[in-house]
Homo-oligomer: A and B are copies of this chain.
Amino acid sequence: MTDTTPADSQDYLRKRAFYDSLLTIYGRKPVLEALEDLSLPVHKLHLADSNRRDKLIERIEALAAERHIEIVYRSRRELSRISKNARQDQGVALDLALPHYGTAEAFLHEPKTNYELLAIDGITNPQNLGMIIRSACAGGMDGILLPRKGCAQIDPLVIKASTGTVFKMRLLRCEKLAPTLSAFKQRGARICGLSSHAPMTLSALEENAPTIFVLGNETHGVSDAVDELCTHRLRIPMHNGVESLNVAVTAALIAFRERPSHSNPV
C-alpha cells in the first residue's frame, strides 16, 4: 500500500477492519437462527442457485428481505468458496459483521493497561471449543486467541455448543499461535500454560500484568512451541487423584476465579 495517498490508505484500513470482522457461517439451521436473532448485524446472504426451494430456504429468504439484507445467488462452486465447507454448507452461507470478531494483531495495537485472554492451542473438538467460548464469555474474559492452524474453527457445531455466545465474545484470530504469543510477550504479557503437573497453582498467580492463559490439546496438552514461550506454568489442584479436567471446565475455573480487581457482575 505504499503507493496510495493517505486518504486511500485510511479507506483501505477501514475496509480491512470491516472485512476482518466478517464471520461467514453456513448450513440452513445455523443461518436461519442467526437471521432470527435481530441483535446480530448481517452483511450478506449467499444462496446456491441450485438449492431446492423448501420451507427453510423460503423462511431464510423472507427473513433476509424483511431485514433488508442483500441476497446473492451463486453457483454451487462459488458458494463452496465462500463457505469453505461444501460438504456441510447445504447451499447457504451468511456473512455476519460482528463487532467483536477481529484479529490478534488489531488487539495487540490497542492501548490497554491490563487484560486477560484465553489462547486455544490445538483444541480440535468443536464441542469443547464452543463450551470454552461460553464459559469465557460468561466469566468476563477479555478475548480468546484462536489460531487458524491446528484448532477447531467456528462452524455450526461450535456455534451450537457456545449457545450463541460466539457472537458476543471477542474472538482474536491469528495464523499460528506461537508467533502471536511471542508478539504479546514482547509487549509485556505473561504467558501461562495450564498443565496438571505444574508446580504453581492458578490461585497463586498475582494480578499485576496482562495475562494469556493457554489451553492445550485435550490429550497432549500445550504444544512444545508454545510451552517454550510460557512465563508461568499453572495447575488447578484436584482431589481424589483426578489428573485432568475437561478443557471447558478449566476455562471456566480461570474465568470465574476470584480476583480482587475484577469487577463482578451483579
Contacts and interface: CB of A to CB of B under 8 A. Distances in A.
Contacts of A41: none
A111 interface: no
Nearest to A163: B244
Contacts of A107: none
Nearest to A170: B240
Nearest 9 pairs of A and B residues by beta carbon = A140-B239, A138-B242, A138-B238, A249-B252, A237-B265, A137-B240, A239-B265, A168-B240, A131-B246
A200 to B, nearest CB: 12
A241 interface: yes
A65 interface: no
A115 to B, nearest CB: 14
Interface in A107-145: 131, 134-135, 137-140
Number of copies: 2
Contacts of A264: 237
A256 B165 CA distance: 24
B249 A131 contact: yes
B244 A137 contact: no
A162 to B, nearest CB: 10
Q: Interface extent on A, as a size class?
A: 20 to 34
A131 B165 CA distance: 21
B265 A165 contact: no
Contacts of A137: 239-240, 242
A47 interface: no
Given A237-B266, A246-B248, A249-B249, 6 more contacts: A135-B245, A135-B249, A137-B242, A138-B240, A140-B240, A168-B241
Contacts of A253: 252-253, 256
Given A135-B249, A237-B266, A168 B256 contact: no
A195 to B, nearest CB: 15
A169 interface: yes
A165 B242 CA distance: 7
A138 B236 CA distance: 10
Interface string A215-252: 00000000000000000000011111110111011001
A165 B246 contact: no
Interface string A18-48: 0000000000000000000000000000000
Contacts of A246: 131, 134-135, 248
Nearest to A161: B246
